[in-house]
Structure 1
Amino acid sequence: MEDDVQRAVVAYLRKKGFRQAELALMEEQNKNPSSSSSPSIDPDVGRHILSFSESQNVPAKYQEGYGNLRSWAHGSLDLYKHELLNVLYPVFIHCYMDLVAKDHTQEARSFFNKFREDHEIMHLRDLQKLEGVLSPSHLEEEYAHSLRQSKMNIRICQYSYELLLEYLQRTKSITILGIINEHINFRVYSGQPGSKSDDVENEILFGNNQDAALQINQKEVRWGLLEDTLEERLEKAVLDSEKPEVESKEGDLEETKKKLVEGGKQGGSVKKLKKDKPVGATGKNVRSETNTVSMAPRVKPELTLPVMPMDVEKSILEDLRNRVQLNSLVLPSVSFYTFLNTHNGLNCSSISHDGSLVAGGFSDSSLKVWDMSKIGQANVQGEHESATKENVMGSDEGKRPYTLFQGHAGPVYSATFSPLGDFILSSSSDSTIRLWSTKLNANLVCYKGHNYPVWDVQFSPVGHYFASASHDRTARIWSMDRIQPLRILAGHLSDVDCVQWHTNCNYIATGSSDKTVRLWDVQSGECVRIFIGHRSMILSLAMSPDGRFMASGDEDGAIMMWDISSGRRVQPLMGHSGCVWTLAFSCEGSLLVSGSADCTVKLWDVTASAKVAKTEENGKAGNSSRLRLLKTLPTKSTPVYNLRFSRRNLLFASGAFIK
């Protein structure tokens, strides 16, 4: 009997991870060599420990243990409070799931409802999912199972960590100590704790296996641009045409120098010659220092690319020749399209590459497209340093200044124009995607594959291919000529809310409600990157023109910059107070623009982040400061739904006016 008690106690301690306790027992055994091979424990003490372990099954132990920890954390010093409060959320949800696992359903519900208000601000969506876990069988479902099997990473300073250990030892909270030991991974650092605003930089990972994520991020990603692009051809043509001019200018300079020197010998004054300054507002004769596109490596396409018509190629080349080179000193002009009387019904908007067409998806299942060449421009405003034009659109059925597309059986959640503007895709809650012709004003194809609402759809940079994101936790890759998807990308633990193509079309990025961004290989369908750091659902994605960096925006207003090659976060961009619904890079990659529900457009300097990434890549300490905010452009009470740069670097934006 005594041996059974000893084995049970050791098994219990080992199960809870108390290695220090086991070592203490082994040391006690070494002090008494006459004891048996198994750790010797006084029978009375063993029975007391076992009875205590059984007593913790009583729901009151969870309520009491969590309540005491909560009171202690809220009563701690303000300097350490915000770090200690981070411990409460994982303890709360695992206390709840332990009660459910032990079939104390009513007590679990009472515990959940009593303490849920503490966590609703930061974890409302997770709590809504967890609220549906009501029986032990529900714990085997994907979301709850992943929470039970994974650890939460919490960054905490050394002194806060010691305070927590001292509290647990003093109160002998075996229940809470077991949960913390099993489900929390502390990342202890030396020095004073960071400010409360820096908590966003703590990598809190729930429902994901971090070791698997690290392993996936070791895979090679070829992030460069496609070979033989129009930009590359134009650059070569410009360099070839400039060579003779440079040689002739150098010859003229030598002759002028000789003449001036001869004149100086005859008593004239010699003036210093000034070199011709490159005139480059339009960038025709100058190569911008901030343009990283030309320095990106070249890769081969994994998809069969469509052939571009000659007239389209000429038009694009003309746009590239007249492109404005933007930087921190030269900001873009903005043309803002405002929807009137549509705020409650407008779900999404999209703008064609040249701004000539604007689409809106509505809750009444309709898709409307405005031709801006037929709509007068009103209220040209010059209130910002960057010229801003405002185009106003309404939904007056009498005049009908738009083309109406009808076919969906539910609200339209996303719309996107093809690169040439001749097609538009729309996705809906009816789980379908529809392809429309802007020339024929007709529906061409209805793509069925998803089982639930489709939140987002995006054309590839070359057209023909497109990707979709759905409530069914998958993203899918399609081609216009096939009604079935080419690839199904599965791996997210919750809704896939947004999707974005990589610049070279070989990869697709997906943002999810599970707070992660994943990068997928188009050819194999495998996940090659998992980006972890957001604290709420991801709503928007954007790829830099050179293909190395990616930006993601979430529901809390945070924007993250990621280095695709290494899988690491470069810098967080903090400034928005509402959801970040849209992101866009300028054509040369020097600026990032974000649009938010807080009715502002913000311009960020991306050049600094590239320098930080390079210094970290070389093993040097980078600048830890956040990305520099260049300018904030407020709207007239209009949340920003969509942003897009034209090929000439004019920024288009759209949103629905709120009365």
Structure 2
Amino acid sequence: MDLIDSDSESKPQSQSELPPRTISDDEVDRLLRLSLLLRGRRSTEEMLKRLPQVQSVEELAAANALDSEAAIATLIQLYPAAETTTPQKYFEMYDQLVRWAHQSLDLYKSELKIVLYPLFVHCYLDLLEHNHIDEAKKFFGIHRGLFEAQAFHMARLEMLSTPQQVLDSEVGTLFRRNKYTMRLSAYSFDLLIAFLHETRSMLLIGLINHYINISVFFGSPLQPIEAEAAAGVVDDPSNRLPLRVTGAGGVLGSSLGPATGSGPSVMVSAINERKVLWGTLPDIHEVELLVDDAAFPVRRRGPPTTAAPIIPMQAPAAGEVPNSSFTIPGTAVSHRAPQDEEGRPLRPDRERIPLPRVKDSDLHARIHTLRETRQRVALGGTGALPTTAFYTMLNANREVNCINFSEDTELMAAGFSDSHVQVWNLRGDKFLPLKSGADLDAVPDVSSITIDDLVDRSPAAMLAASETRSLMGHSGAVYSTDFSTDNRLLLSASQDSTVRLWSLETMSNLVVYRGHLSPVWSVSFASVGHYFASASHDRTARLWSCEEIYPLRIFAGHESDVDVVKFHPNCNYVATGSSDRTVRLWDVQSGECVRLFTGHTGAVMSLAISPDGKYIASSGVDKTVILWDLGSGRRVSTFSGHANVVYSLDFSIEGSLLASGSADSTVRIWDVKAAVSSAASSSNATARRPPNAKAAITSPELLTTYNTKSTPVSCLRFSHRNLLFGAGVFQA
């Protein structure tokens, strides 16, 4: 409830329409008590009535003929204008409030201290808006130590230095255009009102009335964790998504309550009710060209020497759903399309988005992948736990920002703060240099030249070849890399706001993609190549084609940095994780957000999508891993156990296990099947925990933990045979 409801039916006139009026302290006392009476706060009104020289409420009403809160609101809103407000008053009144809250009884202290943060912010913003820049900085410096839990957006506030920046900034808009909501018990509310009256803190009353919404309940005062969890929801009267600043979170952005649990936002529910075709496509290569596996010789590099025979596709029988299932030749694996309750397939048509023509090299790589997959180790359930191989980078005197493995785990790339990318061949093969221009002039027919013709295989070149190569071109730190599925291309994202495409055959830069306005944090190739997505500090994710230098789609909606981006296996959706603590799923075709997952209490740093496309896992600063169902839009389970930021996630090939790597120098393996089964039997079990409450125990889905030697885990990748590869930088 507002202290003074400015949205009453009797709208007060604007200040410019009212004649100037000076309000005495006695009138303020009377107005406050009448407001309390109208609000039902009889106990507080009686307490104030016992003060000397105080009239009864009835006498006050008769004397002033004020019978509505609108009239009271009008007069109280005039108070700041009637009295000269100096910067010193902000210091005095807020200092009094801080001392009073910290000296209160422990029973009520947790609730009363929640009031301090929003009032601190608005006092600071008021000083800036009135151009008291030096005083605002001094005020900020004195009290910033009280709010270490809000370090993320405290840093944003500190960067403001002009009235215009308050109007234009994200954090200024967040607090000034919305109301900060908190819950107080009835007695704590009475204590707060009494204090504000006794200290004549009309400045603070005005801020509370205008920017804070206090919900009063009858019962025992909230405990510290409950008080923090109950504070921070910001009511947004516009049509955009409500915002939230939590008492314990410390991250700006959209947080509409967990996707499961009581009272999710209507807007979130509307988004998550949209249909998502999460099923994977009938494999692009086998559907386009069903190839006899035995007739196609496998080679690790280069195109096949002979054309592959094409098996014509049979037309579906009458009443059969096209592409509802198919069998990969040479295997016993049948891929059946998932269906909804009405029997309609939850798999997008192959024509829904333009896909590149299937090349012989793509077909060859896919067949090699299928052969590798058939030899995978069964994991989860009665199966074995994964065998792991961990790469530790030693003596990394240049800061390593990211590490990534190729899909077949044959290559590894790392991005460095000095702007270069390093690529390693983990199989031990050497990267051969290219021939000189003079040698290429000797080629008789340039039109028939292949990559093998460009490679220098002379004895001297073979001797000088190395298992690692450096790629130079960025002008800022490199934050993310990603390999194409055929290992021929590499993407890199940088602080210089660009994404670069590199050829791993010629070790050269092919394209520079410009469009983001700020550093680019993450890039992700689509499973078919051709398309990729990027995520940036400018709060957008973008869809690109390798053949175009301008983005095809701009996904806008996050309220803070988009930290990570991931393509869905069917290439029709892009998932993003943000510092606003949400995960979103975007439709590539329409550009719309079709899923919005809320529940994290910190920035989302990593995403992984299950091979069947049904589940997405997210992790980040809050040290938890959350498993979401893309079909229903609900949370499946929360995995707790890590002691630090979780940087990396990956599903096993069949999707039964999930691996997570953390800054706590551990790799943890989680049982996805058990989590799904548990959620099916008790769909609300996970939701009962308050969204901001920290888990105290390790989740039962944890199967095992692998410890590294003082090496935070930066990257994890399951190979096609279900071997788990990891990498990190040793911390001395």
Q: With structure 2 as the length reference, what TM-score do the two structures score? A: 0.67
> Could you tell me which residue of structure 1 aligns to residue 239 of structure 2?
none
Where do residues 174-253 of structure 1 align in structure 2 (5 Å cutoff)? 174-180=202-208, 182-184=211-213, 196=225, 205-206=244-245, 213-214=267-268, 217-229=271-283
Indicate conservation of the 8 Å contact 1:548/1:565, yes or no: yes
**CA shift for structure 1 position 126:** 0.9
Q: CA RMSD in A?
A: 4.6
Q: CA deviation at 1:600?
A: 1.5
- The AA in structure 2 aligned to 1:315 is H
> Is the partner of 1:483 in helix, strand or coil?
coil
TM-score (norm 1): 0.74
3-state SS, counterpart of residue 598 of structure 1: coil
CA separation in 2, counterparts of 1:111 and 1:521?
Answer: 46
Give 1:400-439 correspondences, 5 Å limit.
400-439=466-505
Q: In the TM superposition, what whole-angstrom CA distance separates every residue of 1:73-104 from its partner, at most 9, and x where no partner exists?
A: 44556677556544433332122223333444
Deviation of 1:335 after TM superposition, in Å, equals 1.3
1:656 aligns with 2:685: no
Q: Is 1:170 aligned with 2:194?
A: yes
Q: Report the equivalent of 1:350.
A: 404
Structural mapping, 1:143-158, within 5 Å: 143=170, 144-152=172-180
Q: Deviations over 1:147-206 (max 9, x none)?
A: 22223455x6xxx63343132122135544554553346597988957749967988613
Report the counterpart of residue 164 of structure 2 in structure 1: 137
Matched, 1:457 2:523: yes
**AA at the equivalent of 1:306:** P
The 8 Å contact of residues 557 and 578 in structure 1, kept in 2 or not, is answered as yes
Deviation at 1:468, TM superposition (A): 0.6
Kindly report which structure 2 residues correspond to 1:105-124, keeping only aligned pairs within 5 A, or say none: 105-120=133-148, 122-124=149-151
**Partner secondary structure for residue 595 of structure 1:** strand
Tell me by how many angstroms 1:357 deviates. Answer: 0.7
Equivalent residue runs for 1:421-570 within 5 Å: 421-570=487-636
Name the SS for the 1:588 alignment partner.
coil
2:348 pairs with 1:299: yes
Measured against aligned partners, the alpha-carbon deviations of 1:252-275 in whole angstroms (never above 9, x if no partner) come to xxxxxxxxxxxxxxxxxxxxxxxx
Q: 1:412 to 1:325 in 2, by over 3 A?
A: same
In the alignment, which of 369, 389, 395 is matched to residue 316 of structure 1? 369
Deviation at 1:225, TM superposition (A): 1.2
1:29·1:39 contact (CA, 8 Å) conserved in 2? no
For residue 539 of structure 1, report the CA deviation from its aligned partner: 1.8
Counterparts of residues 95-114 of structure 1 (less than 5 Å):
95-114=123-142
Q: Which residue of 2 aligns with 1:607?
A: 673
Task: Indicate the larger mover: 501-510 or 294-303.
Answer: 294-303
Q: What is the letter of the counterpart of residue 185 of structure 2? A: Y
- Give the match for residue 589 of structure 1: 655
Structure 2: gaps of 5 or more residues: 1-17, 42-55, 234-243, 246-251, 257-264, 292-330, 431-463, 690-694
Structure 2 distance, partners of 1:23, 1:638, is: 59
Give 5+ residue unaligned stretches, structure 1: 238-283, 377-397
2:123 maps to a residue whose letter is C
The SS at the match of 2:189 is: helix
Q: CA deviation at 1:406?
A: 2.0
CA offsets per residue over residues 464-509 of structure 1, 9 Å max, x none?
2100112222211011121211111223333222111223322212
> Given the alignment, which residue of 377, 395, 402 partners 1:341?
395
Q: Output the amino acid matched with 1:371.
A: N
1: CA distance between counterparts of 2:119 and 2:228? 18
Distance 2:332 2:106 in 1: 58
1:258-277 equivalent positions in 2, closer than 5 A: none
Partner of 2:120: 92
Q: Deviations over 1:341-381 (max 9, x none)?
A: 225432211101121111111222221211111179xxxxx
Residue of structure 1 equivalent to 2:379: 326
Name the structure 2 match of 1:256.
none
SS of the residue corresponding to residue 650 of structure 2 reads strand
Is the contact between residue 540 and residue 582 of structure 1 (CA under 8 Å) also seen in structure 2?
yes
